[in-house]
Structure 1
Amino acid sequence: MNPYVPDALPLTNLDLGRLLPKIGPANAALARYDGLLQSVVNPAVMLSPLTQREAVLSSKIEGTQATVDEVLEFEAGMDFDAEKTKDIQEVVNYRKTLTLAAAVLDEEPLSLGLIRQMHSVLMDSVRGANKAPGEFRREQNWIGGAGSTMEQASFVPPSPLQLLDHLQAWEAYVAGADVDVLLQCAVAHAQFELIHPFKDGNGRIGRLLIPLFLFQKRALGSPMFYLSDYLEGHREVYYARLQAISREGDWTGWIGFFLDAVAQQALANTERVRAMMALYEDMKRRIAELTRSQHAIAVLDALFDRPIFQSGDFVQRSGIPKQSALPFLRSLREAGILQVLRESSGRRSAVLAFRELLNCAEGRKVL
Structure 2
Amino acid sequence: MKPYIPHTLPIEAIEWHKFIDLMGKANRYIARYDGLLQSVINPDVLLAPLRTQEAVHSSKIEGTQASLRDVLQFEGEQDVEDYKKDDIYEVINYRIALKEGREQMQSIPLTLNLIRKMHNTLMHDVRGSSADPGNFRRIQNFIGAPGSTIDDARFVPPTVPVMMEALSNWEKYMHHEELDVIVQLAIVHAQFEIIHPFLDGNGRMGRILIPLFLYHKKIIHEPVFYLSDYLENHRSEYYDALKNITDSGVWTNWIRFFLNAIIVQAEKNINKTRAIINLYEEVKKEIIESTHSQYAVHCLDTIFIQPIFSSNYFSKNSGIPKSSTTRLLDILVKEKVLVIAEAGAGRRPTIYAFKRLLSIVND
Give TM class, smaller chain. Answer: over 0.9
Deviates more, 1:195-204 or 1:268-277: 268-277
Matched, 1:300 2:326: no
User: Where does 1:125-164 land on structure 2 (aligned, <5 Å)?
Assistant: 125-164=125-164
CA distance in 2, matches of 1:317, 1:20: 49
| Normalised TM-score (structure 2) | 0.97
Deviates more, 1:48-57 or 1:337-346: 337-346
Q: Which runs of 4+ in 1 moved over 6 A?
A: none
Number of aligned residue pairs: give it.
363
CA distance in 1, matches of 2:315, 2:13: 58
Deviation at residue 184 of structure 1 after TM alignment: 0.8
Change (3 A) 1:81 1:316: closer
Which residue type is aligned with residue 275 of structure 2? Answer: A
Given that residues 101 and 118 in structure 2 are in contact (C-alpha distance below 8 angstroms), is that contact kept between their aligned partners in structure 1? yes
Deviation at residue 348 of structure 1 after TM alignment: 4.5
Deviation at residue 286 of structure 1 after TM alignment: 0.6
SS in 2 for 1:89: helix
Which residue type is aligned with residue 263 of structure 2? Answer: A
Deviation at residue 290 of structure 1 after TM alignment: 0.9
Deviation at residue 292 of structure 1 after TM alignment: 0.7
Partner of 2:13: 13
User: Where does 1:203-218 land on structure 2 (aligned, <5 Å)?
Assistant: 203-218=203-218
User: Where does 1:89-168 land on structure 2 (aligned, <5 Å)?
Assistant: 89-168=89-168
Which residue type is aligned with residue 192 of structure 1? Answer: F
Deviation at residue 299 of structure 1 after TM alignment: 1.2
Deviates more, 1:54-63 or 1:312-321: 312-321
User: Where does 1:192-271 land on structure 2 (aligned, <5 Å)?
Assistant: 192-271=192-271
Partner of 1:32: 32
CA distance in 2, matches of 1:35, 1:107: 24
Contiguous gaps of at least 5 residues in structure 1 = none
Which residue type is aligned with residue 266 of structure 2? Answer: A
Partner of 1:178: 178
CA distance in 1, matches of 2:329, 2:124: 35
SS in 2 for 1:226: coil
Deviation at residue 346 of structure 1 after TM alignment: 4.8
CA distance in 2, matches of 1:47, 1:231: 20
SS in 1 for 2:352: strand
Partner of 2:169: 169
Deviates more, 1:74-83 or 1:217-226: 74-83
Partner of 1:350: 350
Q: Deviations over 1:241-281 (max 9, x none)?
A: 10011110121111111111111111111111111111111
Q: Deviations over 1:305-328 (max 9, x none)?
A: 111122232233322222223311
SS in 2 for 1:309: strand
Contiguous gaps of at least 5 residues in structure 2 = none
Matched, 1:359 2:356: no
Q: Deviations over 1:149-177 (max 9, x none)?
A: 11111100010122222111111111222
SS in 2 for 1:170: helix
CA distance in 1, matches of 2:308, 2:81: 19
| Normalised TM-score (structure 1) | 0.96
CA distance in 1, matches of 2:189, 2:282: 39
Q: Deviations over 1:276-307 (max 9, x none)?
A: 11111110111111111232122111111111
User: Where does 1:59-98 land on structure 2 (aligned, <5 Å)?
Assistant: 59-98=59-98
Q: Deviations over 1:6-42 (max 9, x none)?
A: 1000111011111222111000001001101111111
Given that residues 55 and 91 in structure 2 are in contact (C-alpha distance below 8 angstroms), is that contact kept between their aligned partners in structure 1? yes
CA distance in 2, matches of 1:337, 1:36: 25
Deviation at residue 237 of structure 1 after TM alignment: 0.8
CA distance in 2, matches of 1:184, 1:338: 44
Given that residues 9 and 173 in structure 2 are in contact (C-alpha distance below 8 angstroms), is that contact kept between their aligned partners in structure 1? yes
SS in 2 for 1:110: coil
CA distance in 1, matches of 2:245, 2:238: 11
Structural RMSD (CA): 1.3
